[in-house]
Structure formats: structure tokens, C-alpha cells
Structure 1
Amino acid sequence: MTLSEAAVPPDAQISTLRKYTLLILFCLAQFLDVFNFAAIFVAIPAIANDLHIEDANTVWIVSAFQLTFASFLLVSGRISDIYDPKYCFVAGALILGVMSIGCGFVRVEVPLFVLRALGGIGASLTIPSAFGLIIRFFPEPNEQAIAIGAFGGSGAVGNALGVVFSALFVQFASWHWLFWFSALMAIPIAGICFLLIPSRPDDPTRAKASVQSLDIIGVSILTIALVLFIFALTSGSSVGWGTARVIAPLVISILMVVGFLFWETRVPEEYASLPPQMWRIPNFGVLFGISLTPYLWWTSTFLLITSQWQDEFLWSPIKSGIHFLPIGIPSVFLTVLAGYLTRHVKPKHLIIAGGILLITSTGLEPFSATDPTENRYWRFAFPAFILGTSGATLVYCGASVAMFLITPPKYAATVGAIFNAALQLGAAVGSAIISSIQSSITPGSNANSFTGRADGFWFLFAVVTFMTVSVAIFYRVGKTPVASAPDAAESSTEQKRSTEDTQA
């Protein structure tokens, strides 16, 4: 259990209508965060042509958002754990909305990149705070599993519908509406959540302690390291992996991560931005590793197939978007099913089942784009999309639920940040490596030929196979969740403090 029935916090006692209204709003925020990443793929040609962006720089239309989003997740998680996550979530949604308005009006590439980066920071504020609020409002394990599953599934829907909406905007209006649509959703979400989310009462002791426990030095070192690391990965496919622009930030980032780990051993555990004791929790490291795969599969599939459909098969954006619907629509139903399964199936078995589906799907994908006919699509791409999104959703739900079950409630936002950082890191690493494979292994000068794409899919096949086998070998079944055994006394104390500090 995440919380005992004897100590249900006041947050969980708000009306059912209010709780589920907030859950819908949190899911819409998650939808927007993923939408702002996935929808750009279809719109890149139109944006680049309108703003006269060179081919080598178009990667930053996507990467500017992804880089700051992934890099600031841990900072956001720390802030959400220490301060009231309500204001963190509202501020993040508001920043995303305002930056999206600006993106729709810019006419020069550099301001667009800057605004996209700032929007990524806003999006990063919403994820850990939403996780923390979901854990507070849904302490009962069964409800919590369903809520977390719905939250994750909304991201999968954003992945698919983002492509469709982007195609509609580009073909029938303009790419500017892609950003204005985000603003029209994000700003009302911020306002409604400001009114509906109950605030924690002011506590001078908490405020004083929170300033001391922010771990500014540790957070700064890690954030800069992640920025440099993701910058190197996203630059490699465009400027070359052997250039100083890639090697220098990559080496510096690794050294800074080592320095961060050393620093974390020097500060008190209660003040550490990445609590070392979390990594000693059984299965936490395994769950972090498997969390790299869901967004890796989704992003790689979009990256490898979208460009071929539009550039080689000359499909319209609308036709491409519609053919991607099998990736998103099943997630709506699968999240409900996954929420039910988490109550009856052990997380290890759920994750392995998802991994097997991903392996099967990725084995079909290399054969899905060799022919532009519908027969080839229905024979290979369609079943690959259904199986792959089913597997990715099961892995997502199983890993996220298991992570929260084995960690203390006081780390809810930090755990949410770590989990989502793994998702984004998988997407960043996968897109960079697969882009490099596609351009370097392809024979001759035709970078769009099928051979390079097939090699990218076979790399993805190897990754998901390795991850699934690792879970089967290293995930230890039967270990007592932290929140219910070793830290039972601590959890009880935290629950009592929560009852005092979190009045609705």
C-alpha cells in the first residue's frame, strides 16, 4: 500500500467529482506535453520553409523543447516535493501556454528555438507536480494504479493525435495554429487548477527547511550535465559524432555526473536532490532501465516512418497522420486494462508481457515501409503499431505503478521526475542514434533508402530485447515495498504530518 487506510490524508477526502476533474486536467497537461513534441514532426517542412531554416538546424525545432524538458524534470521534482506542487503545476502550464503563443507569432528561427526551450521548462514543471498531486488525491492502491495509468495513457494519445492535429493545421490552416492550440488548452488548465487544487497551509518551519534542502549546488551540476549530454546526442546526427561540438559536451557531461554523484555523498540524505537511498531500493534500478523503452519505441517509429511516407511515398500530412492512428487510439483502452491488470498481475509479469509485444512489433517494422501500397501497410505496419503501442503502454503502466509502490510517498514528485526523465532520455538517445544509423549505414548517397531505416529498426529490436531479458533476470519478485515495510514507521510519520499539513 502507498498509504494505510488508517491514515488517509485530507486531500483524499475531497469530493469524487473534484478529484476526477483534476485528474482529467492533469491528463490534458500530460497530453499537451507529449503533443508539443510529437506534433512537430509533421510540421517541420512547413516551418522550415516559412522561416528559411537550413536542414541542419531543423533538428532544433524538436530538440530545443526536448532538451530543456528532460533536463529540468529532476529540478521540478525536487521543487514539487519541497513546496506546494499546486503552484508548480499551475506555473508550468501557464509558462507553456504563454511560450506557445509566442511560438505562433515568431518569424525568425532563433526566437522560435528560444521560446520552444522555455516552453520545455514549463512542461517539465507540470509532470512531477502532477504525479505528486495524483499520489495525494488517490492514496488507495487500486485507484492510484488506474489514475497513474490514465495519466500515462494520455501521453500516448498525445503522441498519435499530435500527428493528426498537426497534419490538419498544416494542410487546412497554418503551422502557427499548432502552437496556438496548445496555448488555448494550457492557459485554461492553469486557471482551473489554480481554483480547484487545495493548497497546503503556510508553514514557516517548512519554508525554512525547504530553502536548506533544495541542494542548489547538486541540482545545478546535474542540470548542466543533462543539458550538455542531451545537446551532444541531438547534435551528433547533424554535425557528426566525431566533431568537437559533440565530443566536448559529452565528455564534460560525464565528468559532471561523476562530480554530482560525489557531491551527493557529501550532503545529508534529507537534503540530497537525488536521494542515494532510493537506488538501494530493490528493483528501482531495473525499473529505471526499462522506463527508457516506451518513448524510445514511439519516437523511433515516428522518426523512421513519417519521413519515408511523406518524402518517398509522397503521402500528404493528413494521410500520414491517419495511418498513425493505430498507435494512439488503443492506448485509451489499454490504460484502463493496464490499471485493472496491476491489481491482479505482478509488475514483473506485466512488464515482461509488454516487452514481448514490443519485440514482436519491432520485428515486423523493418518490413512495413518497403512498399507504399495499402497491402503492405495492413500486413506489417498496422499489426506492428497495435502490438507496439500495447507493449509500450503495458511497460509504461507497470513500471510507473511499481516505482510508486516501492518508494515512500514523500518522494512522489521526485520519483515522477526520475521516471519521466528516463522516458525522455530514452527518446533523446534513441532518436540521435537511429538518425546516425539511418544516415551512416545507408549505402550510397540516398539517406532515405529503406536499408538505413531497416538498420534503425533492428537496432531498436536489439534494445527492447535486451531490456526485456534484463527485467526477466534481474527483477526480484517478493521484495517488500519500501512504503509498507522497512520505512513503515517513517511512512506513518509522514502520513501523520501530511494530515496536519495538507488540509483541503
Structure 2
Amino acid sequence: MSDASLAHPESVTKVEDSLSTPDVETTMAIRGRTTLGAILLTMTVTLAMMVNSFNITSVSLAVPTIGRDLSITEASLVWLVAAYSLSSGCLLILFGRVADLYGRKKTFLAGTLSLIAFTIGCSFAQDGLTLAILRGFQGIGAAATIPASLGIIAHSFPPSHARSVAFATFAAGAPLGSALGTILGGVITQLASGETWRADFWLSAGLTFLCLLGGMFSIDKDKPSEEKDRRIDWPGAFLVTASLVLISFVLNQGEVAPNRWATPYIIGCLVTGVVLMVIFLVWQHYLEKALAKPTGSASPLTPPPIMKLSLWKKSNGMLAALMCISFLNFASFLAWFYWIQLYYQDFLLLTPILTMVRMLPMFVTGVTCNVNHGAHSPSNALVTGTTVTSIACLLFAVIVPSAPYWAFGFPAAICSVFGADFVFAGGTMFVAKTVEPHEQSLAGALFQTMAQLGQALGVTITTIVFNQVAATHAKVGDTTPPLKAYQSAQWTAFGFAILATILGVLCLRGAGIAGDQTESDIPPPKTESDHSTGTIP
């Protein structure tokens, strides 16, 4: 049955807006929402994504200023960035499950309130340890808002062009937030005097407050979960969160620890993290099998698993392939981004502002890439995106320092974001149409977690490559990292992107259109109650 056959055209008020296509109007009629209401909702969740990116990039470029003002050691500066990413990335799965069970709007609003409180707290920090701790708590709010936002979009927009527009706009929030954070961070790092880095946190708190207001008035009231057993698998939540924290910590600290990867606490954390992840997977398998039995749901010792392992088998394994592509693509993209900043500032000795200016084209392209690509199949979009991103890595892998910016830097900046934008927007749309209504936020959180882990691994692996090449060069008496070290790191990032491309070609054929849902894509709902959660048979 098509969306059009379920619509009531007479209930739709026509407005003069670029989004007022028949398909969008049909979607709004199904949801009982005006076009203006849909725009406000989309702007609210997009702003939440912008704030998340802003909180990372603005602090990244303001780190030198913060370090001087608070007398933070070089080794401790990394935690000003890592603490936020660590908490926000490792708690996504837990909050995704909470949002699905107890309400996405409630989770979104609670997350924004928490984010406002701890962001303001960061602005008053007087020492590095306090700021690092507050940054960790700040990331908890983002861990709640992002999966809730994904579930809100999937619930509010049935499969249609309107859903494609909403997801694409939401994805555009990432480059917009990164651009805003990079511009302000670059300007503050170079030109500001005194402790004006605190203004970054005040601006972030203000933007988050707008998210709170938008969420209160534009997001629909939560409906009760359709799941009969609404218990949370707290043992599973602890296992997966502790495992991700330890593994992420190792990936962030392995190269800067006293004895690097041979440091005892690095080895211990890595082993413990891997063991906890194995135990988590075994526990989830046990719970899923136990609940499949007729009397399984009655046992107090077998709550519903926080993440069913069968989730990875959705769409004949395409969902698992998509998660792996996200992992590899973001490993490539963030490694590229990390090393070009160091190349410009440490190798070419450019100022932060000149570095920021050279990266501006990627943010413009990032917004442009999110327009209308939801009309293509995930295979085409993802393969195209990862291939173009690999070109950005390749350009810096063969870069000639004496060449003008327009020969290597500019085209690389243009190409770099295709993979991130196509994978994120197309991937989230595919996830939304693949999973059940009560799994939307959890599946979105899992997708985000894979991207976060990919980012950490990409920087870690390329750092190992860089250090090895630099160490080899240092043996001949030159202590300055050579051009070959930067190029080798980019060759490694290129390899990640190519692996993602190959995986997309092999595993995503016949995936359908990202923004639509057809009978060939998704099995029809089993109960009539699915109509109330946005699944159109």
C-alpha cells in the first residue's frame, strides 16, 4: 500500500514553501502535522547535531589557549577533547534503548538540560582536571540527544521524500557545527586575549537552550512503548559501556602512554575491554534465546537484551555491512582531518586562522552533499562517497609542499566530506527503514557508536604509522617529522576508505532507495499497532 493511498489530501493546508511538494504534504497529513511544524522539528534536531559537532571542534582548536590559561600540561590537554568524545560515544547504546522504551522526547529534553548545565559548568572551570571531568559529563547529554533525535525523525516522518529531506538536513548539522566550531576556535586561538575561550561554552549553552525550547514545542508527545517488557538490561548496559570506555581509552592513549602500547595499564585496559565485550555478546545471545521460549519473558533474571544480536542480520546482513562501512569511512575521514591540521600548522607552519581558511571548502561541500542524495540507493551513495573521500586522502598522500593550495589542498577539502555525509545521511535513512519502530533510537545509536569507534581507531592506526616513519627518519639525525611521515598516515587513511568502498560494492547491491520503503525492502508489520509508530505497510 502506498503513502498516497493512506493520505487525506483535504486535511492538508497548502503553504508557499519549498518543501510543500505533494509527497511532503501527504506525509504531513498522515502525521497530522503542518509543514511549518515539520520544519521546526527538523531544525530542532539539526541544531542538536550542530551543537554536538561544535562542542568537539571549538574546543579542539581552542586547546592551546585553554592550556596556557589553566596551566595544563601537554600530556593532559588531550583529555579536554577525549573526555567529551569518550562519554558521548560510549553511552549511545544505553540512551538509545532508554529513548525507545521511555520516550524519545523525554530523553531529548533530559539530554539538553544536562548539556546546558555541564556546558555552563565548563565555562567556570578554574583548573584542567575540573574542566576535563565536566567535559565528560557534558558528553552524557549529547549521548542522550543524538539517538533520541534519530528516533524522533524516524517516528515523525513515514518513509517518503519528507523523511529523506529530514535525515539529510539532520546530517548537514554535523558539517555546519564543525564549521562554526572551527571558525570560532581558530579565531579565538590566534586573536583572543585572556580567558575568552569560555565564550565557546557560553555560545554552546545558548544554542542548546534553543534546542530545549524547540524540543518542548515541536516534538510530539511520547507514546507508550509497544514492548510488553520494558525493563532495561542493566548488566548488558554495564558490560557494553565499560567495554567501550576501556577500548576507546586505549585507542586514545596507546600512543601517548609512557611506554606506549607496552605500558601495563594500556595492556590491562585493552584485555579487559575485549573480554567485557565478549561477555556482553554472550549475554545478549543468552537473553535473546531465553526470551524466544514461551516462558522466557516471565523470568526476572532475563530482561529484554539491550541489543539483540539478530539486529545485525536485518536485510540479509546489509545492516551489518552498513555498520562496518560507517566504521571504516569515519576512520578514514577523521584520520585525514586530523593529519591535515598538523600538516598545515606543524609542517607548513601556518597560523590557526590560515589553517581554518584552507578547511572552509569542506564545510560548504558538506552542506551541499546532503541535498537530495536520499533519492539514490545506499549502494550508489555510499560507494560514491567513500570513493571520493579516498581521493582526498590520496591527494595528501602524494602532496607536493611547494605546489599551490589549489593543486592539492582545495580539491582534497572538496572531496573529503562526501563519504562522511553520504554514509551518515544515507546510512541513518537505511537504518530507519530497516529496523522495527521500537528499535529506531537503539539502531541509530549503534550506527553512531560504530562511527565513533572508527574515528578513534583511524587516528590511532595512522598515528602509529606516522610515528614509525618519523622514528626511522630520526635515526639519521633529523628530529623533524618528514613529509613522508605525513604522507604515510594519509596512505593508511586511503586504505580505510577503499576497504569501505569494496564492502559497499560487495554487500549493498539491491538495497533499494534510501528514503523510501517498499515491500521488497522491509517485511510488512505484524500488528496494526505499528501504524501508530510510523511504519506504513
Look up the equivalent residue of 2:250 and give its one-letter code.
Answer: A
The yes-or-no answer on 1:129 pairing with 2:148 is: yes
Change (3 A) 1:258 1:393: same
Residue number in structure 1 paired with 2:397: 366
Change (3 A) 1:206 1:467: closer
CA-CA distance at 1:409 after TM superposition: 2.5
Change (3 A) 1:160 1:251: same
Residues 222-259 of structure 1: per-residue CA shift (max 9 Å, x gap): 11100011011101121111211211111111111110
The yes-or-no answer on 1:237 pairing with 2:259 is: no
2:61 to 22, 26, 42: 42
Look up the equivalent residue of 2:56 and give its one-letter code.
Answer: F
Residue number in structure 2 paired with 1:502: none
2:357 to 322, 334, 337: 322
Residue number in structure 2 paired with 1:352: 383
1:68-467 to structure 2, matched below 5 A, reads: 68-173=87-192, 174-200=196-222, 209-210=229-230, 212=231, 214-239=232-257, 240-267=260-287, 268=291, 271-281=304-314, 282=316, 283-338=318-373, 342-343=374-375, 345-368=376-399, 370-371=401-402, 375-442=403-470, 443-444=473-474, 446=479, 448-467=481-500
Look up the equivalent residue of 2:146 and give its one-letter code.
Answer: I
CA-CA distance at 1:3 after TM superposition: 7.8
Change (3 A) 1:430 1:259: same
- Residues paired across the two proteins, number: 489
Residues 180-225 of structure 1: per-residue CA shift (max 9 Å, x gap): 2111111232133123322135x5x979832x2x111111111110
Unaligned regions of 5+ residues in structure 2, if any? 8-26, 293-302
Contact between 2:399 and 2:487, CA under 8 Å: does it hold in 1?
no
Residues 22-58 of structure 1: per-residue CA shift (max 9 Å, x gap): 1111111101101111222221211112222222222
Once residues 43 and 323 of structure 2 are traced to their aligned partners in structure 1, the CA distance between those partners, rounded to angstroms, is 26
CA-CA distance at 1:428 after TM superposition: 1.1
Contact between 1:9 and 1:136, CA under 8 Å: does it hold in 2?
no
Look up the equivalent residue of 2:285 and give its one-letter code.
Answer: T
CA-CA distance at 1:321 after TM superposition: 1.2
Contact between 1:2 and 1:141, CA under 8 Å: does it hold in 2?
no
Contact between 1:38 and 1:163, CA under 8 Å: does it hold in 2?
yes
Contact between 1:407 and 1:483, CA under 8 Å: does it hold in 2?
no
- Name the structure, 1 or 2, with higher relative contact order (CA <8 Å, separation 6+): 1
Look up the equivalent residue of 1:165 and give its one-letter code.
Answer: L
Look up the equivalent residue of 1:427 and give its one-letter code.
Answer: Q
Q: Secondary structure at the match of 1:379?
A: coil
More helix by share: 1
Change (3 A) 1:133 1:483: farther
Residues 67-103 of structure 1: per-residue CA shift (max 9 Å, x gap): 1111000011101111111011111122122211111
Once residues 357 and 213 of structure 2 are traced to their aligned partners in structure 1, the CA distance between those partners, rounded to angstroms, is 33
Look up the equivalent residue of 1:123 and give its one-letter code.
Answer: A
Change (3 A) 1:258 1:116: same
Contact between 2:57 and 2:178, CA under 8 Å: does it hold in 1?
yes
Once residues 226 and 246 of structure 2 are traced to their aligned partners in structure 1, the CA distance between those partners, rounded to angstroms, is 33
User: Percent of aligned positions with the same letter in both sequences?
Assistant: 26
Q: What is the aligned-residue RMSD (CA, Å)?
A: 2.7
Q: Which has the larger radius of gyration?
A: 2
